[in-house]
Amino acid sequence: MSELEARLNGMKCSVLIPSYRRGPALLDCLQAVVSGNRLPDEIIVVLRDTDTDSHTMLDEWLASAPHAGLLRIAKVTERGMIAALNCGLQHVSGDVVVFTDDDAVPRAEWLARLMSHYDAPEVGGAGGRDVVHHGEKIWQCRARKVGRLTWYGKVISNHHCDYDGAATEVEHLKGVNMSFRRELLRPFDEGIWGRGAHFNDTDQSLTVSATGYKLIYDPEAIVDHYPAARPDSASGRGLTDPRQVYLHARDHCYLLLKHRPGWRMFCWLPYLTLIGSRRCPGLLIFVLQVFRFGLRPAVRFGAVISGISAALFKTPPPDDL
């Protein structure tokens, strides 16, 4: 769908970008958004009220940037990604809400490709690939499956990988490159403890798909992603710290309790506790790691069990979350 066609049929879109203490990266993101082949109808940038450096940089950019009139700033006082996303949702007005991160640079065709999928009335969301850059290197991988939640509870993402095929239906999208019909969106779940981006995009995707609408992954709707530090997130990007492992395991279990409840727990709970993953090991992987690394993985295994228990028994969040 061309920009003209999108406007003629009344389909408007809002681009929502939460940002915190990444002023230069945010400006690169905005410049790419307004330079694309399809302009959004509005851009909402959510900034923390205390992030004075980003506010100053953005004010300077607005003074001379093309299409600066499309942009509005929403201020949030609470910490964390979920608080910022929910603040932004209160300000959007488009028929479609498009999400990206302040450390991503969308390519020229990005928005046009996402919006083209809403020609089909059964499509409730559309997302694309993020090409992940680590310095001068690009994370290289190839995937045959993308955006799946298995019957036993494993979350398969692979949105960053080369994917052999055209646009395809998936079960969940990735937060750095996703969009939904605004009427289907619900507030992002504050029951997810990790203040970074993990699982809130999967949760929103599963919530939308539960309404019966389709989610489409388009590997040609691309953003270049330059992962930056999360200064406001205990969950970070990696899982080297036991606290990060605890939050990841807890939120994974919380997600499954919400979207795979009842008898299906007997499918996914054994996977979490007995198998898990290399970074969030269940019992069997932990035993294998002991033979190779000694008792060092014991701390991570303990964090996994503690996190799962916190979700199962609805433990209140810690005060220092």
| Structure confidence by residue, pLDDT tens digits, 48-71 | 999 999 999 999 999 998 899 999
What whole-number distance in Å separates Cα of residue 22 and Cα of residue 288? 40
Q: How confident is the model at residue 1 (pLDDT cuts 50, 70, 90)?
A: very low
pLDDT for 197 beyond 80:
no
Average pLDDT, the chain: 92
Indicate if the pLDDT at residue 206 is higher than 90: yes
Cα gap 229→220, rounded to integer Å = 27
Instruction: State mean pLDDT over 153-180.
Output: 96
Task: State the DSSP H helix or E strand holding residue 139, giving kind and residue range, or none if neither.
Answer: none
Contact by Cβ (8 Å): 207, 173: no
Confidence of residue 8 (pLDDT cuts 50, 70, 90): very low
DSSP string covering 17-33: EEESS-HHHHHHHHHHH
Of 203, 195, 201, 180, the C-alpha closest to 258 is 203
Record the tokens describing residue 307, joined without a space: 């996190």
Q: Give the chain's count of helices (H) and strands (E).
A: 10, 14
Domains for the chain: give ranges and CATH numbers.
3-225 (3.90.550.10), 242-312 (no CATH)
* pLDDT level of residue 99 (50, 70, 90 thresholds): very high
In terms of Cα–Cα distance, which of 193, 197, 196 is closest to 172?
197
pLDDT at 9 (0 to 100): 52
40: left (phi over 0), alpha (psi -120 to 50) or beta: beta
Given the DSSP bridges, would you call strands 104-106 and 214-225 parallel, antiparallel or unpaired?
Answer: antiparallel
Higher pLDDT, 53 or 237: 53
CA pair distance 277, 155, nearest whole angstrom: 11
Q: For 261-286, give the DSSP string.
A: -GGGHHHHHHIIIIIB-SSSB-HHHH
Distance CA 30, CA 35 (A): 8
pLDDT of residue 295: 86
CA neighbours closer than 13 Å in the CB half-sphere of residue 198: 24
What distance in Å separates the CA atoms of residue 62 and residue 19, rounded to the nearest whole number? 16
Residue type for 212, please? G
The pTM assigned to this predicted structure is 0.93
